[in-house]
Structure 1
């Protein structure tokens, strides 16, 4: 999927290899003609000597390209002179028997244009015409064939001219496509940020409502809002995931991951979704470690889990890990209705959804398994689906490599298991330029017992904060990193901080330059935020 145009180094080296192959082919052709008595021994010796010289020069060029790769125009022009010099000498010396060599001359001319674009095509065409001129002026046979020469001249001019027209159209189409992709990238980047904000604020407001004193009917309404928001968030993430894959921006960052903790956290994040679906999730995974990209592997697992919740509601789900060959597999077993064999070959296609007559409408866009497969290719993993109608489905990720456990550092306990009032009295500096998000976050933090001071940009006061929670993009005046640095400078200590962002997390990490500051991607789950707050508070108390 992620392909790039070949570099000048790759093209020149491949061209040099082709040149080394062509020389023996021409030599073999001449020897075959000599064996069949079509040419005399003198001509065969001349061809052999010329091809030997060309092969030696080609070998020198190949070595030079390997040692000094890159775009070197002088070397390219020298290469063209060598190519046309050898071909011209062959055709001029060989007369009629060497006429087929003209096909190679024309191929070389077109090849320079395709490899190096129109400027080199023009230069190659001029050199080809000079070659024909030299051939005619030095060979009596060619001078006796005016119609043949006229035909070769027209061919030498018309074929490159047509190639030039095609290259021009191709260049225009490529430029238009690049402009469209750039416009789409800019639009989706802005839309991603702008859409995350309201989804994020709705999620926080809903969490505030859930913690309020509600009657049964009101709790049911809030839960329905949560369900709808969960669906919107999942669809939104699928669209962004497929866009990131199409744009070629996804680069795996391999690290050592605790697989059991990763799966446990995944199940915790989907507790509400599993409850809505009536699914009891069981986990069987030993405390093993694997090498993978945390974010990409988590996205793959989330999509497989979401599929199981959607297509096997009311049925138990087993998430397991076991050895398979030399690697490890993560497997999802559900007891849903299964997938018909006719659908199994198509389920990885974009927007493909398994539908049967009188099916109820199942939410989603049919992108989940597409994303899983494409991310699997990036990570060198294989996706396996096995299903039996009426009995259930197995979805597995194969090929994970088990590694030794890293040296563990003391880490605070997860906040998910802590009492709700663990955050009482935590003094938070909250910075957010979106008023709805600012209000929603502040309201939720206060419900958790925090003391919150709100700002829309760099704080203008310097109370003794315990923690900074900030958006990263705060307009033109400052960034979240600037605000964190400002608060730390005023307080004279390294105040812990959290960044919540609607932009690409890795780009924010690069700009931030501080691995100790956790970054949450909007829309943030309230439970995830509270867990992190508790962990940071415990870490501060232990220090």
Structure 2
């Protein structure tokens, strides 16, 4: 009666059930086998090699080994294999099994339960394809941004050089105001391109933190000077409350993180104040940026850290940025191991915070020299760019600063002109991408070979493609990104010529 009751119950289970005797013969099969395989119970019982005749040929040896193991007393769960249905179609299944033992300890055989997982495999395949499509779309987006960014940087680079050269000329007040407005417009375009560059550098894996002890008071003083004018223009009260401690971090990365948080707070606060402070919690310092702005609803608090995501800006007002600032914050914070947190309530404002370990040794990073001269009198510089406007703009700037320039559009012409010059160049500047697949690093190497000296080299690039950035970083030359501000480039030239080792 017990066995009959078991079979009655098992006949109504959804999965394909089998009872194999200790010698491997089939004792019983439930009707679900026909739903899964197309074979009736009677057809299965008449098979010489059940259940292997239903198993896909490529999986039979694996299932045979599994059966031998099961008959030896093992148990298992959710082992996948393929079946071959009566209509010739393949299907996916997963088997679980366990030994059966009677009340007196007698071995009764093995109970095997097979579940149809075709739907699960289809879902996995669909998910895998969706992932592949998403990765393709992401790569396409990166290629588009890299190409668009490069093409935008080219004219902005030339304009920046001309503006820097023009600023060294005497002019009336009206002309100075116009020049100042041009700089403002350039700065707006540069901000977006710098954000795109940051994302690309992070994608390329070329951002390597250089940890040092960063003094919080100095960091806050720098940021207060940077943002006080903007806060006044917006009629907002901006206050920094420093604490006399050092934190262990990369100085440049931390500065950019807090810059982005403060800039974001100012953009989204229409009235009231922005407060930047530092608390000590345990062994960590927590930098907090408070604002009395519009606040962020809970359902959006993760989304705002995604690239190009912005709240309350359907018209894409450029005064509120491009939607990259917080994406950069999250990724740079992860790079230095600093957790980012957000507390916010719509209509009441937000608090962004970043937690960093407190430093006790005070091995502070050396400050960047800002008093590097902007004069190039007596300096000879080799320059190559295959675009005439770019080359002319750079020549104009260097000569306006008193420098002597040896320039060309191709590597061969540059080497010829260097050889013909009475004065050897002390430094070489090259656009990273030249005609016919040539690279700026090749041009600098050729000039070094001709003058028989390892003169400093500067590679100027408009690329944001992660692969190209990594390749350029590995060249051994100073890498600067278009559009570089003219006086910043001159400062970098003088730093290299005088042996000052600071990042451009």
Which residue in the other structure is 2:30 paired with? none
Of 335, 339, 351, which aligns to 2:293? 339
1:256 matched to 2:211? The reply is yes
The size of the alignment, in residue pairs, is 415
Conservation of the 8 A alpha-carbon contact between 1:457 and 1:477: no
CA distance in 2, matches of 1:523, 1:510: 19
1:520 matched to 2:491? The reply is no
CA distance in 1, matches of 2:441, 2:428: 11
Of 221, 231, 235, which aligns to 2:178? 221
Alignment of 1:204-215 (within 5 A): 204-215=161-172
Conservation of the 8 A alpha-carbon contact between 1:499 and 1:520: yes
The structure with higher relative contact order (CA 8 Å, sep 6+) is: 2
Superposed CA offset, 1:214-236 (max 9, x none): 33333223222222222222233
Which residue in the other structure is 1:417 paired with? 371
Which residue in the other structure is 1:454 paired with? 407
1:325 matched to 2:282? The reply is yes
CA distance in 1, matches of 2:278, 2:66: 60
Which residue in the other structure is 2:428 paired with? 468
TM-superposed deviation, 1:445: 1.9
RMSD over aligned CA atoms reads: 5.1
- Structure 2 residue matching 1:259: 3-state secondary structure: strand
Of 354, 378, 386, which aligns to 1:433? 386
Q: Return closer, same or farther for 1:239/1:355 CA change in 2, 3 Å cut-off.
A: same
Conservation of the 8 A alpha-carbon contact between 1:252 and 1:379: no
Conservation of the 8 A alpha-carbon contact between 2:295 and 2:347: no
TM-superposed deviation, 1:501: 1.7
TM-superposed deviation, 1:124: 8.1
Superposed CA offset, 1:472-492 (max 9, x none): 222434212211211111111
Alignment of 1:299-318 (within 5 A): 299-308=256-265, 310=267
Q: Return closer, same or farther for 1:243/1:218 CA change in 2, 3 Å cut-off.
A: same
CA distance in 2, matches of 1:331, 1:212: 44
Of 282, 301, 310, which aligns to 1:352? 310
Which residue in the other structure is 1:9 paired with? none
Q: Which moved more, 1:367-376 or 1:511-520?
A: 511-520
The answer for unaligned runs of 5 or more in structure 2 is 1-21, 23-58, 84-89, 99-107
Conservation of the 8 A alpha-carbon contact between 1:500 and 1:519: yes
Conservation of the 8 A alpha-carbon contact between 1:348 and 1:370: no
Q: Return closer, same or farther for 1:537/1:254 CA change in 2, 3 Å cut-off.
A: closer
1:503 matched to 2:463? The reply is yes
- Structure 2 residue matching 1:417: 3-state secondary structure: coil
Alignment of 1:283-294 (within 5 A): 288=246, 290-292=248-250
CA distance in 1, matches of 2:477, 2:469: 9
Q: TM-score, normalised by structure 2?
A: 0.63
1:536 matched to 2:490? The reply is no
Conservation of the 8 A alpha-carbon contact between 2:440 and 2:459: yes
TM-superposed deviation, 1:465: 0.7
Q: Return closer, same or farther for 1:330/1:347 CA change in 2, 3 Å cut-off.
A: same
Of 140, 151, 160, which aligns to 1:194? 151
CA distance in 1, matches of 2:195, 2:426: 36
Conservation of the 8 A alpha-carbon contact between 1:429 and 1:469: yes
Of 181, 184, 188, which aligns to 2:138? 181
The answer for unaligned runs of 5 or more in structure 1 is 1-45, 47-75, 92-100, 114-121, 132-140, 143-147
Conservation of the 8 A alpha-carbon contact between 2:200 and 2:465: no
Q: Return closer, same or farther for 1:428/1:181 CA change in 2, 3 Å cut-off.
A: same
Alignment of 1:132-211 (within 5 A): 159-211=116-168
Structure (1/2) with the larger helix percentage: 1
TM-superposed deviation, 1:440: 2.2
Conservation of the 8 A alpha-carbon contact between 1:339 and 1:387: no
Of 58, 79, 82, which aligns to 1:108? 79
Superposed CA offset, 1:403-441 (max 9, x none): 645699xx9972x324543x2222111222233322222
TM-superposed deviation, 1:242: 5.4
- Structure 1 residue matching 2:354: 3-state secondary structure: strand
1:489 matched to 2:489? The reply is no
CA distance in 2, matches of 1:453, 1:271: 43
Which residue in the other structure is 1:479 paired with? 439
Conservation of the 8 A alpha-carbon contact between 1:256 and 1:289: no
Which residue in the other structure is 2:105 paired with? none
TM-superposed deviation, 1:109: 1.7
Q: TM-score, normalised by structure 1?
A: 0.60
Superposed CA offset, 1:374-405 (max 9, x none): 43234321335678999997654322453645
